[in-house]
Amino acid sequence: MIAHASFLNLLLSQQSGLFGDFVRSRGRRVRTMQTASLSFDGALEQLFWLFMGQEVHLCDEELRRDAQQLVELVRRERIDEMDVPPSLLRQMLDCGLMDDGHWQPGMVMVGGEAVPPALWKEMRGYKQLHFHNFYGRPNTRSRRWARRDDSRGAGGGAAGGQYPRAGAGRRAAPGGHRRGRRAVSGRRRPGPGLSEPPVADGGPLRRQPFGDGELMYRTGDLVRWNARGQMDFIGRVDHQIKVRGFRIEMGEVEHALASLPGVNAAVVLAEAVGGSHRLIAYCTMAEAGRHEEAGLSAALLAQVAETLPDYMVPSALAVLPEWPVNINGKIDRKALPAIRPQNAVAGREPANEAERLLCAAVAKVLNLEQAGPDDDFFQLGGDSISAMSLGTELRRAGFLLRPRDVFAKRTPAGMAAALQPLSAANPADDDKAGPVGRLPIVAWFAEQYGMASRFVQGVWLKAPAALSAEHLAAGLLALQRAHPALRSRAADGQLHIDAAPAALDARMLIEAAADATPDSLFETACARLDPADGVMLQAALRDGADGKRVLLAIHHLAVDGVSWRALLPELQAACEAAMAGQSAQLPREEFGLREWAKTLAAQAPARRGELAMWRGMLAEPADALSANALDAVRDRHETAATSARYSAKRPARRCCNGCPMLAARRWRKSCWRRCCWLAAANSTRGACA
């Protein structure tokens, strides 16, 4: 149980410390990523960002075990901070998390597992990155141990906690080379269950044998104080391990195996794999001779997988005729035979190049001499971590394979059917060039006004003092390359997408005079637009007495009110990258304007059946919303007064521009219809920011 006081203490500690410092250093809303299951107590801390007014992106079960997709999410959503186990971080690094020319997170926190020294050394090479070790007992949920150096230690304590280290005699152990079991007390200590009394002996929760006798929690971590006043993690003294950031009691896995029909007893061991572990299981059968039964191990693993989460399912299982025992008659765990993954008996040769590639990749990832096309990846010793490694290996060869396909297909032959070239998974810019097709709204605009008309939306933005015209040009170019509509041109009553440019058209950016007003710049921008020649946007950079400002105007054929929500954060990110001397690149649209037009055209036959219904609705005369005619003087005055009053209150109420209008519309229509439950149709999508 997590006590409210402990939870609040940690929130306040992070708000005044690490989290708050990072928010202030960014100078804007921080975007974070929640990769842990919400059933995991460690996930609660990532929700602190919400309490602090920041933005949290949630990952589902499929996404959180796909390192490549997580990296793509970081780049697409401009994630600033993430908290992952070291084993998952290793996979994300292999997938290009910190590659030059792409968006990189500003802070990475790791926890759940001890950090391998090699990973520490690699992460310290990224000087712009805040990298923190938050290894700690998860059910205290204290995140007590934070450090940033070149060692794999457990770090120092956070506010509100006491961290005694108990030696073998349960006395406070001194610093230096002596080892002890880490204990936690104070507001950081986890509370007992609602009916669980403190345990005087034999349990983790007990009275302090030193100090004032308050309760302390003895973790299973073996540590020692170092000369810097921090704890170095040495190992565990119990049978708990971490797999993919989840703490596992191996006794639970043993119990699940021993509960299967016909199983007499079971033992589960942990085998170190990189910075994580995988489980190796042994069992004996109640019926003599069954250990020689073909396929028995696979059948037992399939049964236990129905009752345990995937991270608790052993990677391999050996059925023994009897247990090796020591001199005391107990199971000798050190004498258990090593489980060597075996290839399928009488396996066939790969039938094609895809199978051959998969077999070679599986063998390399699992460190085998060879693998057959019909061999089961998981029976060969694979697990979720090696499934991600397999995807990384195939990506180096130019192919995409998602971890979900590894779990679903299991064999190289099955995975070969799901394999796709990276070029097909990530279409080139040229694939998005060409005529868009007659979108309904574009066709209406062409009929009413003509494609050469200028119907423009614009924004007036504050800019950092360090922003130059070159930085802004790089950001606008990245925006154009990422969003094909911004490089469109109008011809023949429709839009045409041009190929991605190598440089920004010089006509799209000007440096304005210091005394230029927003209205004058907007009028000039509208006049400079040329839809027929592909000039769909205009930008002006002004360095005035009130600091630097940017006017950005885009033709309404290429942008709408909702699009700004995506474009402006991306423009900011691209300009920040340019100012930092990095390549200002943005992720390409997966579903562009041409694809949208094709989708709409495919739906046209089905929509024609609705024509009679819509004509009937339009044929009915509509009642007037008000008996009063509009008055130009009165209505302009009310608009001005409402605007001034609303502008002062909107930030405090944390609502978007459309919310008051929707609320007023709903209220007016409810009065008109005489029913308060009438819901107004909202043409926008997304939440208020």
Contact (CB, 8 A) for 82 and 108: yes
What's residue 475's pLDDT?
Answer: 92
Question: Which single residue is written with the structure tokens 């009310």?
Answer: 638
Read off the pTM.
Answer: 0.49
Q: At what angle do helices 384-396 and 86-94 cross, to 10 degrees?
A: 10
Cα separation of 665 and 228, whole Å?
A: 63
Q: At 157, which amino acid appears?
A: G
**Sign of the torsion formed by the C-alpha atoms of 243, 245, 251 and 254:** negative
Contact (CB, 8 A) for 547 and 514: no
Contact (CB, 8 A) for 420 and 399: yes
- Rounded to 5 degrees, φ, ψ at 509 are -140, 130
Which of 226, 217, 223 lies closest to 236, judged by CA? 223
Contacts of 254 (CB under 8 A, 6+ apart): 266, 267, 268, 281
Contact (CB, 8 A) for 79 and 73: yes
- Rounded to 5 degrees, φ, ψ at 83 are -130, 110
Cα separation of 225 and 180, whole Å?
A: 9
* Tally of residues, the chain: 689
Distances (CA, A) of 46 to 36, 40, 67, 108, 141: 9, 11, 19, 12, 12
What's residue 168's pLDDT?
Answer: 44
Contact (CB, 8 A) for 486 and 538: no
Q: In 295-366, which ranges are E strands? A: 316-320
Would you state the structure tokens that stand for residue 351, as one six-digit string? Answer: 């039938």
What's residue 191's pLDDT?
Answer: 45
What's residue 177's pLDDT?
Answer: 52
Which of 380, 362, 483, 386 lies closest to 429, judged by CA? 483
Cα separation of 79 and 71, whole Å?
A: 10
Q: At what angle do helices 384-396 and 67-77 cross, to 10 degrees?
A: 70
Contact (CB, 8 A) for 450 and 531: no
What's residue 552's pLDDT?
Answer: 95
Give SS3 for 55: strand
What are the pLDDT digits (tens) for 370-418? Answer: 888 888 887 777 777 788 788 878 877 888 888 788 888 889 999 998 8
**Please, which residues bridge with residue 331 across strands?**
325
Pairing of strands 316-320, 276-285: parallel
**Sign of the torsion formed by the C-alpha atoms of 462, 464, 469 and 475:** negative
CA dihedral 477, 481, 484, 485 (to 10 degrees): -20
- Calculate Rg over the CA atoms of the chain: 31
Would you state the structure tokens that stand for residue 20, as one six-digit string? Answer: 């708050």
What's residue 652's pLDDT?
Answer: 57
Cα separation of 399 and 406, whole Å?
A: 14
Would you state the structure tokens that stand for residue 10, as one six-digit string? Answer: 């940690």
Q: At 20, which amino acid appears?
A: G
Q: Which stretches within 95-232 are classed as H helix?
A: 117-124
Q: How far apart are the first and last CA of the chain?
A: 33
Q: Which stretches within 161-308 are classed as H helix?
A: 250-258, 296-304
Which of 168, 173, 135, 161 lies closest to 216, judged by CA? 161
Those residues of the chain that have pLDDT short of 70 are: 1-3, 38-42, 113-114, 135-179, 182, 185-215, 217, 220, 228-246, 272-277, 328-329, 340-347, 423-432, 590, 622-627, 630, 632-659, 665-689
Give SS3 for 208: coil
What's residue 25's pLDDT?
Answer: 86
Cα separation of 54 and 633, whole Å?
A: 42
What's residue 151's pLDDT?
Answer: 45
Which of 250, 244, 223, 302 lies closest to 42, judged by CA? 244
Contacts of 536 (CB under 8 A, 6+ apart): 485, 486, 487, 488, 489, 529, 554, 555, 557, 558
- Rounded to 5 degrees, φ, ψ at 218 are -90, 115
Instruction: For each of the domains in the chain, give its residue range(s) and CATH number, in order of start.
Output: 4-155 (3.40.50.980), 241-331 (3.30.300.30), 353-421 (1.10.1200.10), 429-599 (3.30.559.10)
